[in-house]
């Protein structure tokens, strides 16, 4: 797989290392309360929350709301 990049919308989580297509997707993978048990969801949890990885390798909030599998 080619190296994933970041941009003004795409981001990489420094905690878990996953790449996200949008800040919304990034926010969605963070769970728990700030200062208490804030953490990243793992892949199983993200999939359980209907998140998915697009063909470019970036996690998206959903493949069905404003995102297509083929969008990069």
Q: What is the closest distance, in whole angstroms, from the C-beta atom of residue 45 to Zn ion in the complex? A: 11
Please say which residue, 6 or 68, places its beta carbon nearer to Zn ion.
Answer: 6
Which residues face 11 on adjacent strands?
20
Please say which residue, 23 or 68, places its beta carbon nearer to Zn ion.
Answer: 23
Subset of residues 25 to 54 that bind Zn ion, contact rule: CB under 5 A: 40
Q: Quick check: 37 and 28 in contact, CB under 8 A?
A: no
Please say which residue, 47 or 68, places its beta carbon nearer to Zn ion.
Answer: 47
* Burial class of 52 by CB neighbour count within 10 A (0 to 12, 13 to 18, 19+): middle
């Amino acid at each position: 797989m080619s190296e994933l990049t970041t941009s003004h919308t795409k981001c990489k989580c420094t905690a878990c290392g996953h790449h996200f297509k949008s800040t919304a997707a990034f926010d969605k993978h963070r769970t728990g309360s700030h200062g208490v048990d804030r953490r990243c969801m793992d892949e199983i949890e993200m999939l359980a929350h209907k998140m998915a990885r697009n063909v470019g390798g970036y996690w998206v909030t959903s493949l069905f709301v404003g995102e297509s599998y083929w969008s990069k």
